[in-house]
Amino acid sequence: MTAALVAGARATAADADAALPVVALVGRPNVGKSTFLARASRRFVETANAPGTTVSLERRRIRSRGHDAWLVDLPGTRSLDDVPAGDDPFWTLLVEAAPDAILVVADASDLARHLPLVIACRDLGLPVVLAANLADEAERRGLTVDGGRLGQVLNVRAHVTCGREGVGVDAAVADAVRLAMIRREVRAGRRSPRSTVPANVYPFDVEQSLRRAGDALSSEPRSLGAAAVIDPLATAVIAGRISARGAASIRMAPVLDPYRWIAAASWAAEAEHRRDVPEPLADRLGRWTTSPWPGIPVFLGVSFAAFLAVTLTGGVLAGALGAAWTAIVSPFLGHVVPAVIPVPVVANAVLWSVDGGLLGMLSVGIPYVLTFYLLLAALEDSGYLTSAAVLMDRLFGLLGLPGRAAIPVLAAAGCNVPAIYGTRVLRTRRERVIGSFVVTLVPCSARSAVVIAAVAPYAGPAAALAAFGLVAGATVAAGFVANAIIPGRQMPLVLELAPLRLPIPRHVAAKAWWRFRGFVVTATPIMLVGSLVLGVVYEAGWWQAIAATIGPSVEWALGLPAIAGVAIVFAFLRKELALQLLIAFAAIQLGHATGLGELMTPPQLFVYAVVSSLSIPCIATMAALRGELGWRPAAGIALATISLALGVGAVLARLLGTA
């Protein structure tokens, strides 16, 4: 009864929600759209592009001058047929959002390059409102935009706005909501359409072919039959999700674009008033960051600072949180869990999970992941990432990666998981696959600790350094090979440099927190279950059976004792435990506590360190790979790392004479 009532109430609420007008927010990258959205909806939330096959559109319910409406945020795009995120062209996202009006956010400093998108949106037949945003930056460049004149020449409602200070944002949104409501009424037959005369952009013959293309698109299924290849544009037209002329204007973009750009240039000139001012500091700094001097030293400085910030802050925080946990929570759990679960083996396995697993989460998650996300958000919002991308493009081009891959690859030295999410800064799926592969091979802080602890005390610091060099060499070689064998080729760089801006702290914090929440939700269950499995295998003594099975192959291939193989396999669940596990296994097998030095010779330890650093990424990394790329690439990357680790290990073992 109550359930039925609740369901009923939900349905009514859903109906009311569906009846609200929808305004889509469209704009080129770097127009300050997310700040604009934050102002419009009074909330700072992550708005970065969501790559992958499922692109979720973020809808925000807003209240504008007494009217409720949905504001749908769309990824930054350069044209309607551009592919800004994942694999879908932008127009499919727009159609999915089913807007009643479009609010286009443009850069007031550069209207000539931003108005073509406005014209393209207007060709869709939807009401369009223009926000000439970043008016403050334009003013600093000596440019004033006449909003009234701009609206006149474009024949759309135009507002001059400044998202950072919130100037004009509410008025622009209110205008868009009003037009969206009118369109709803017209579609529902409650209001007669108001005819508008669009400004002339195309010559007569182009308009004619646009009409013919529209007719062809709306009749396509009849002429081709059901078995024919489905044209997504035609499908959208038939379903009534887009007008025939709108669909034709997307199809004919290559023909229409030159006219749009010419019209945009002359209209922009009509609405702009320029005066001579000295070059703003931000623009001068922007120029410097891409010139070899001082650009390259600045890049090295920023990279090193980022590396230090993540590893040092991470290390300090991890130590402090770990100490607090072992001092306060661990003893408590150590008392409670055995009291609740009377079977010692089960109780211990559960302790592995809730005590060890959560501790692992706490000492990796907050220190490394959150620190990195804060840094990444600040770098993204500052616009510096694109400068770094330009400087590093040549170098990373050898691996089939664009220069912007430098940031996630460096971050991987802290923790691979946020670095894999960080590969979202890459544009194509191919780049993300190669980038993620390279990231998983970069030793994270946990694996670096294993390499140092296994090699340095027994073979000296120079050997530890050599191990890192070897891992780095293998990583570069693997990236090189991946670039050669993964189908497709790297797109040549075409990138608009973002102007340098001071990040808004609240925005940075909100963005980092939003991503961090995603990490916690994904990784915590995996860490808990993984640790439980590890606990069961350990406490029940099953690892001995596994050692007996894989032992001979490990000895033959890598020249390592069987339990070293088991430790490498189970380090998949908790990478930072690769050494502790090994020592624990050895103690049980030998019947007394032992050191690594007694268990393996220095050359064997060297092989062990390199193999466990290169082999299969940890389970949290695997989950991140699967989430970002899907099962197949994730499995492919895992297999590739195992093969690489075994290959390098086997060669090393033979060179060092241990196998």
Partner 1 sequence: MTETRPASAVHTLARAVPSIALRVVAVDPGDAAELAREGLLPGSLVTVATRTPLGGPLVVNLGPARLALARALAGRIVVEPADTEPGA
Exposed, middle or buried, 234 (CB in 10 Å: 0-12/13-18/19+)?
buried
Strand residue runs (E) in 161-220: none
Nearer to partner 1, 493 or 520 (CB): 493
Q: How near is the Cβ of 300 to partner 1 at its closest, in Å?
A: 14
Q: How near is the Cβ of 386 to partner 1 at its closest, in Å?
A: 7
Q: How near is the Cβ of 430 to partner 1 at its closest, in Å?
A: 16
Give yes or no for a contact between 435 and 426, defined as CB atoms under 8 angstroms apart. Answer: yes
Q: How near is the Cβ of 492 to partner 1 at its closest, in Å?
A: 4
34 vs 49: CA distance, rounded Å: 11
Exposed, middle or buried, 106 (CB in 10 Å: 0-12/13-18/19+)?
buried
591 contact partners, CB below 8 Å, separation of at least 6: none
Exposed, middle or buried, 394 (CB in 10 Å: 0-12/13-18/19+)?
exposed
Q: How near is the Cβ of 143 to partner 1 at its closest, in Å?
A: 8
Instruction: Give whole-number Cα distances, 652 to 554, 561, 655, in Å.
Output: 14, 15, 5
Nearer to partner 1, 449 or 495 (CB): 495
Nearer to partner 1, 62 or 143 (CB): 143
Q: How near is the Cβ of 508 to partner 1 at its closest, in Å?
A: 24
Q: How near is the Cβ of 291 to partner 1 at its closest, in Å?
A: 5
Nearer to partner 1, 7 or 300 (CB): 300
Nearer to partner 1, 21 or 286 (CB): 286
Helix (H, G, I), strand (E, B) or coil at 323: helix
Tokens representing residue 363 in the block: 């000492």
318 contact partners, CB below 8 Å, separation of at least 6: 363, 364, 367, 368
237 vs 555: CA distance, rounded Å: 65
Nearer to partner 1, 141 or 515 (CB): 141
656 contact partners, CB below 8 Å, separation of at least 6: 559, 603, 606, 607
Instruction: Give whole-number Cα distances, 343 to 81, 346, 350, 354, 542, in Å.
Output: 62, 6, 11, 16, 17
| 129 strand-pairing partners | 103, 157
Nearer to partner 1, 110 or 576 (CB): 110
The residue written with tokens 């949290």 in the block is 620
Nearer to partner 1, 78 or 511 (CB): 78
Tokens representing residue 386 in the block: 């694109």
480 vs 438: CA distance, rounded Å: 10
Nearer to partner 1, 29 or 518 (CB): 29
What residue ranges bind partner 1 (CB under 8 A)?
Answer: 78-79, 82, 109-110, 112-113, 116, 141, 254, 257-258, 261, 286-287, 290-292, 295, 386, 389-391, 393-394, 491-497
Nearest-Å Rg of the Cα atoms of the chain is: 29
Q: How near is the Cβ of 25 to partner 1 at its closest, in Å?
A: 19
Exposed, middle or buried, 450 (CB in 10 Å: 0-12/13-18/19+)?
buried
Give yes or no for a contact between 399 and 436, defined as CB atoms under 8 angstroms apart. Answer: no
Q: How near is the Cβ of 206 to partner 1 at its closest, in Å?
A: 16
360 vs 318: CA distance, rounded Å: 9
Tokens representing residue 390 in the block: 């330009």
How many of the other CB atoms lie within 10 Å of CB of 309?
A: 15
Give yes or no for a contact between 264 and 119, defined as CB atoms under 8 angstroms apart. Answer: yes
Q: How near is the Cβ of 576 to partner 1 at its closest, in Å?
A: 38
The residue written with tokens 């073992």 in the block is 653
How many of the other CB atoms lie within 10 Å of CB of 491?
A: 11
Nearer to partner 1, 213 or 390 (CB): 390
Sign of the dihedral defined by the CA atoms of residues 7, 9, 10, 15, in that order: positive
Nearer to partner 1, 67 or 113 (CB): 113
Nearer to partner 1, 178 or 260 (CB): 260
Nearer to partner 1, 33 or 507 (CB): 33
Q: How near is the Cβ of 258 to partner 1 at its closest, in Å?
A: 6
Tokens representing residue 194 in the block: 């108001």
391 vs 404: CA distance, rounded Å: 9
Nearer to partner 1, 46 or 393 (CB): 393
Give yes or no for a contact between 483 and 400, defined as CB atoms under 8 angstroms apart. Answer: yes
Nearer to partner 1, 58 or 81 (CB): 81
The residue written with tokens 């220190």 in the block is 367
Q: How near is the Cβ of 405 to partner 1 at its closest, in Å?
A: 14
309 contact partners, CB below 8 Å, separation of at least 6: 371, 375
Q: In what order do the strands lie in the sheet with 101-107?
A: 58-64, 67-73, 22-27, 101-107, 128-133, 157-160
Q: Does the bond joining 294 to the residue before it have cis omega, within 30 degrees of 0? A: yes
Nearer to partner 1, 35 or 79 (CB): 79
Q: How near is the Cβ of 257 to partner 1 at its closest, in Å?
A: 5
Q: How near is the Cβ of 68 to partner 1 at its closest, in Å?
A: 35
Q: How near is the Cβ of 254 to partner 1 at its closest, in Å?
A: 6
Q: How near is the Cβ of 272 to partner 1 at its closest, in Å?
A: 11
